[in-house]
Amino acid sequence: MLKKNLAILAKRDPNLAYRIGVTPITGRYKILKSQRSDQMYNIIDLKTNLYQYNQYDPYIGVKMDIEKMGILLPNLAVFFGFGLGYHVNEYLTKYPFATVLVIEEDLEILKIVFSINNLTKVLSYNQFHIVSGLTPVQMYPHLFNFFNQSPLLQFLSSINMVQNSISVSGSKEFYIRVLRMLKEAVTNVLALYGNDPHDSLIGIQMTLRNLATIVDNPGINELKDKFKGKPGIVVSTGPSLNKNVELLKGLDNKAVIVAPDATVKVLLKRGIKAAHMVTSLERVLATSKLFEGLTEEDVKDSYLSACPVVMPETYANFPGEKIIVYRNFATFKWIDIPKGILDIGPSAGNMAFKVLEWLGCDPIILIGQDLAFTDDEKTHAEGAHYGEKSLGYLAAGTIPVPGNYQDTVKTSPDFSQFLRHYERDVSSYKGEVINATEGGAKIEGTKLMTFQEAIEKYVKDDIDTLDVIKQNLKIPTSKVKKREVKELLKKLHDAISFSDKLVEKLNIGVEHCLAFEEIVKTDPELENPDNLAKCNVLIKKIESSQEAFTSTQFYLIFMHYVQSYYIKASMDINHYKYKIKPSTDLNKILVVKFKEFYSVIAALISKINIEFKESLTRMDEYSKEIQ
């Protein structure tokens, strides 16, 4: 049975299947047959002398546990402890459409249950996931990736927590720490989609204003794996950079050096060349000021590898060559001019790591990636554009996290978010990551050593870094530009037309909400059967208006813009469905929520439609320029 179960699991998670397979059986658990007619198995933990299930009928307690939860919205569930898999089996039998995550501390109990129970049906569910045998910190990337699935986002405020009480009581501290990581993962997933539509609108505004820049310049896609197996260095501006920055001198022809935008002047002030690639993704004017005063000579061997959500001033202030790097946003899929899409985290430092991964670099060496404050509250290296103490980070409060050379160091909420994304990126990276920061916060999954040691071990051979970059980057030809501009003009016309039609559909949804409210004004409890029937019809029409959001066009054109509000509004609606049984009272609440939902989305789309029209005018002018 073990071999059969592991074979199914290996198709989806070969690493976990392998780890379960090699886990030794210590004798901690004893399997017993129950007194049921089919002798269903039970299990006793000899360490605590506790049975996992009812001794006479293990499944009675399982059914009762699920039923007493009173689940109204079962779409998303997290199980703490797997036991013999009975709770998960019952849940998925009752709610086969649900998405389930199991968190189990002990690989040994998984090996035992895989050996005695046929779990092939559960393991075959596409929406079944399991994480085991890791520390809570090591679980973070898995938790983030699990919750960062589009179909699940709207259910993140309606997670059903199912505890195997015996598993949890035996490892209480472990599951408390996992719960903290789970909450942090959910928070960071939501943060990745923006805090408000205004912030997202700025990103799309900048992207539309940078369309000519996108057309004019080559993309990171042309450098995929061009430095396979060659060392890469991320140079960030954490305070520990002061300790080892001088060692960068002479490494520009021995490694690929990528640095966030804030690092350029820090290096130049020390007589060190700017990085081969400079990453940038913040959509604020302050970012453009990081390049003010730079000359062509300062950056003659450097490429601004920015995401086009940055302000046009950021491109304009950088006097060197550019490479377009898309973030994994729907907007860039809609633009459909291939430049290369990377799964970039929230900071330019996270972006630098993903660029080196894309180039095929191995190992990737990190310096200046403190992601924490020093004991005297310094946040950045000497010579940083906005000073060594960034008040914004300090004012946000501090969080203790494990340090590289101290038991704990203090970090900020933003730095903590960058740290977790680094751990996520490192966990999925196939090569070796060396943390040569010589200070700061510990990044789980990295190997700690000094920068000097990393240079001696990994940075030995000469590389014609700039030659490789120049040989592979192709400046778009006039013919290519004309074709791409023609396609963009058509996309903008289509987007304007689609916007108008979508707003009309949403306004009809609002009208249905108003009609429902008019009936309720005269008959608050809907005691009149005719009124009840009319309202039931209206509720179906109101909910069916959500179909406007299911089209590919909506996703590609608008989702990045509206997603912060869309996700929170959907979560809010599902929260009430999760808390209140179907009733007239629930319908009254839903009508209020849907009316606001449709009205706000319609207003947002009308607002971005203005941007599309202005962009159409700009691209018309650009089209004439390149003819």
Q: Which of 53-57, 319-323, 621-625 has the lowest mean pLDDT?
A: 53-57
Q: CA-to-CA distance for 270 and 278, rounded, in angstroms?
A: 17
For residue 423, the surrounding DSSP H or E stretch is helix 413-428
DSSP state of 275: P
pLDDT tens sequence across 265-295: 999 999 999 999 999 999 888 899 999 999 9
Task: Match 């049984």 to its residue by tokens.
Answer: 581
Average the pLDDT over each of 152-156, 196-200, 341-345 and give the range with the smallest value: 196-200
Pairing between β-strand 50-51 and β-strand 76-80 as defined by DSSP bridges: unpaired
Q: Residue range 163-173: average pLDDT?
A: 82
Strands (E), 174-285: 232-235, 256-260, 277-280
- The chain-wide mean pLDDT, for the chain, equals 92
Over residues 330-354, the pLDDT tens digits come to 999 999 999 999 999 999 999 999 9
Long-range contacts made by residues 542-547, C-beta under 8 angstroms, separation at least 24? 542/509, 542/512, 542/513, 542/516, 542/590, 542/591, 542/594, 543/590, 543/594, 545/505, 545/506, 545/508, 545/509, 545/512, 545/594, 545/598
Find the range with the poorest average confidence among 205-219, 465-479, 561-575. 561-575
Going by their DSSP bridges, the two strands 326-327 and 256-260 should be labelled as unpaired
pLDDT tens per residue across span 520-549: 999 999 999 999 999 999 999 999 999 889
Q: What global pTM score does this model have?
A: 0.88
Asked if 323 contacts 219 with a C-beta cutoff of 8 angstroms, the reply is yes
Under DSSP, is residue 186 helix (H, G, I), strand (E, B) or coil? helix
pLDDT confidence of residue 607: 92
SS3 119: coil
Q: SS3 for 441-485, per residue?
A: ECCCCCEECCHHHHHHHHCCCCCCHHHHHHHHCCCCCHHHHHHHH
Q: If DSSP codes are grouped into helix, strand and coil, which group holds residue 321?
A: strand
Of 493, 495, 491, nearest in space to 503 by CA: 495
Question: DSSP assignment, residue 261?
Answer: G
pLDDT at 110: 93
Average pLDDT over residues 7-15: 92
Tokens linked to 234 = 């991320």
DSSP-derived 3-state class of residue 60: helix
What pLDDT, on the 0 to 100 scale, is given for residue 412? 92
With beta carbons less than 8 A apart as the criterion, state whether 304 and 321 touch: yes
Q: Which residues of 291-313 are buried (b: 16+ CB within 10 A; e: fewer)?
A: beebeeebbebbbbbbbbbbbee
Tokens of 211: 């369309």
Quick one: pLDDT at residue 393? 77
Q: Judge contact between 419 and 403, C-beta under 8 A.
A: no
Give the model's pLDDT for residue 283: 87
pLDDT digits (tens, 9 = 90+) for 613-622: 999 999 999 9
Does the structure show a pLDDT above 90 at 255?
Answer: yes
CB 535 within 8 Å of CB 517: no
**Beta strand pairing status for 447-448 and 433-435?**
parallel
Confidence band of 395 (pLDDT split at 50, 70, 90): confident
pLDDT in tens, 31-50: 888 888 888 888 888 888 88
Residue 604 to residues 200, 505, 601, 617, Cα–Cα distance (Å): 11, 14, 5, 21
